[in-house]
Chains A and B, each alone.
Chain A
């Protein structure tokens, strides 16, 4: 069986994806577990011209930096070709109906390795605002 890895990007034009990586697990509040789509995880900030970043998730803040990956990572999509429905005798048992397509490349990641710093939130109004907007809560489970 042979699966050719396809790439319609062409040389040097593969869409670049980003990775935000943190140690630990981000958990949504129980009521949101099944409806994560469109939920905000946190806010990524770049306070200065340094490649230093903060990531505020719930009431915690992580500090990290943008690192180049030692080796690039490709994003591949596996698709199953739907059967053509023909039943000719000479059906090629060799050609697989699985296809692999390169759809992106990752060269950098924003990596957070610090312990989350609990934020002492500003007095009431901000807290209330945040409370009213559904959000994710960070819970740090050490890996």
Chain B
């Protein structure tokens, strides 16, 4: 850097040379290592056979606005690049979020006396310019303590608090009514109870951006007019049936649906473009593009589960009756099997009959304590094969599934050969 300045001197006139020389001098001064009088450097770099006085800073005080936060080395880049935020409502415990993870923050006290000595570059703690530039003729420097810290904050990785997202988006599900009111978008916006844009969700849900996006996907939410919405099940059902109906009429293969054809057909039937697309996303999977045309394949399991849910919406049904109706409702060419309904339904024997009712894991809370509480209220005892579909989505950082079972259930095994049974603790 110095070299480039010098080269420039030769090519300019006299007055400019003076200025440039001055600049070089200033740069040199700044490049000299801080003599470290007065601050942390003096303490940390204390030479052998030397000493330094430690005194209370002229601005020593409680400084409750100064907080110590213990951080894993690997999170440092995120913090230094300002990618870290604290999220939460005033009545919630704050969480710290990186781009992809969520941490709870807790205070850990320290009974030791922890004297905090700022770096001498710390301009915040200079009462006047003299404080900052310690007298050079001090034999001994003085390092100043600004605060005695009572403890520090620690981070514990936690599962994101995503139940709230579903709650918020369920306040105002998107129904076919809204399509009719589409022209009055302004009216909709003004009377907007329970409508949330991405930025609103970030403010209200204690999760990192990545975890939030992932949950929006899991909830089959769709962004309409800038607002994230869950589409009312009845409406989705109508659109799906129309899609299936059109497929039959036009002899489309459900394994190779042409996106443009499907969407334009649904649009001509009066459904918004966005929702036609959304229907494909919810019930199908993208297949590799073929000559620039996007192709979709309907997902057998998702479609069959949809119709099963429809049938059980009104309440429990006898098994044979349910199976008969289910087979009738699923599209031609699709095979339904009972194991598709894992985590969706429960069966029970009442007398000689087997009954089936809806019990979907997607409707259960995501926190382990609440989840197990509801599961044991539904059924006091569970065999492992029945329980597993209802807890395999639970994730608690630092706790394995065995750990979860140990913590929240009591395991009994009537005899050596019998299946283990889980009940509430």
**A45, B79: Cα distance in complex, Å:** 35
Complex: chain A residue closest to B148, CB-CB? A26
Looking at the complex, which one of B55, B70, B112, B124 makes contact with A103 (CB distance below 8 Å)? B124
Beyond A7-B82, A18-B143, A94-B203, 14 additional contacts (C-beta under 8 Å) are: A1-B89, A2-B202, A11-B80, A12-B80, A15-B121, A23-B112, A37-B57, A38-B55, A44-B143, A55-B54, A75-B118, A77-B65, A78-B65, A106-B68
Give Cα A74–Cα B413 distance, bound, in whole angstroms.
51
Q: Which A49-102 residues have C-beta < 8 A from chain B?
A: 49-50, 53, 55, 66, 71-79, 94, 100, 102
CB atoms of B116 and A38 under 8 A apart: no
A19 touches B114 (CB 8 A): yes
Residues of B within 8 A of A (CB): 39-41, 43-44, 46-60, 65-73, 76-77, 79-82, 84-90, 96, 111-119, 121-122, 124, 140, 142-143, 145, 149, 152, 199-200, 202-203
**A105-127: contact bitstring with B at CB < 8 Å (1 yes, 0 no)?**
01011100000000000000000
**Nearest CB of B to A24, in Å:** 6
Distance of A91 Cα from B133 Cα, bound (Å):
44
Of A17, A39, A50, A72, most B-chain CB atoms within 10 Å:
A17
Q: Is the CB of A17 within 8 A of B89?
A: no
Taking CB atoms, residues of chain B closer than 8 Å to A30 are none
Q: For the complex of A and B, list the 6 residue pairs with the smallest distance between their C-beta atoms, beginning with the closest.
A: A15-B119, A18-B40, A143-B111, A45-B51, A18-B43, A49-B48
Report whether B58 and A104 are in contact in the complex, using a CB–CB cutoff of 8 Å.
no
Given that A37-B58, A40-B55, A71-B73 are contacting pairs, would A7 and B80 also be in contact in the complex, using a CB cutoff of 8 Å?
Answer: yes
Q: B208 to chain A: closest CB distance in Å? A: 12
Given A21-B112, A73-B71, decide whether A37 and B117 contact each other with a Cβ distance below 8 A.
no
Contact B71 A44 (CB under 8 A): no
**A46: contacting residue among B50, B82, B90, B124, CB under 8 A:** B50
Contact status B203-A71, CB under 8 Å: no
Q: Which residue of B lies closest to A15 (CB)?
A: B119
| Contact A40 B53, beta carbon cutoff 8 Å | yes
* A41 in contact with B54 (CB, 8 Å): yes
Contact B86 A102 (CB under 8 A): no
Interface residues on A, range: 35 or more
B122 pairs with A15, CB closer than 8 A: yes
Q: Decide if B40 touches A17 in the complex (CB within 8 Å).
A: yes
Q: Could you say which of B58, B65, B71, B116 contacts A17, with CB atoms under 8 Å apart?
A: B116
5 A-B residue contacts at CB 8 Å? A5-B96, A17-B117, A18-B44, A19-B115, A41-B55
Contact B80 A9 (CB under 8 A): yes
Asked if B46 contacts A46 (CB within 8 A), the reply is yes
Cross-chain contact A44 with B48 (CB below 8 angstroms): no
In this complex, the member of A10, A11, A14, A106 whose beta carbon has the largest number of chain B beta carbons within 10 angstroms is: A106
Within the complex, what minimum Cβ distance (angstroms) separates A25 from chain B? 6
A66 to B47, CA, bound (A): 13
B112 touches A47 (CB 8 A): no
- Are B52 and A44 in touch, CB under 8 angstroms? yes
* Residues on the B chain within 8 Å of A12, using CB: 80
Q: Kindly state the separation between the CA atoms of A37 and B127 in the bound complex, as whole angstroms.
A: 12
> In the complex, what residues of B have CB within 8 A of residue A16's CB?
40-41, 44, 119
Contacts A37-B59, A73-B70; is A110 near B43 (CB within 8 Å)?
Answer: yes
Question: How many Å lie between the Cα of A77 and that of B116 in the bound state?
Answer: 13
**A76 contacts B119, C-beta separation under 8 Å:** no
Chain B residue numbers with a CB within 8 Å of A131 are none
Q: Is the CB of B145 within 8 A of A41?
A: yes
Q: Which residue of B lies closest to A98 (CB)?
A: B86
Q: A4-B82, A15-B118, A43-B53 are in contact. Are A76 and B69 (CB under 8 A)?
A: yes
Contacts of A100 in B (CB 8 A): 67, 86
* Contact (Cβ within 8 A) A11 B66: no
Given A41-B54, A43-B53, A76-B67, verify A66-B124 contact (CB < 8 Å): no
A15 to B: closest C-beta gap in Å: 4
| Residue from B41, B48, B54, B119 having most chain A Cβ neighbours under 10 A | B54
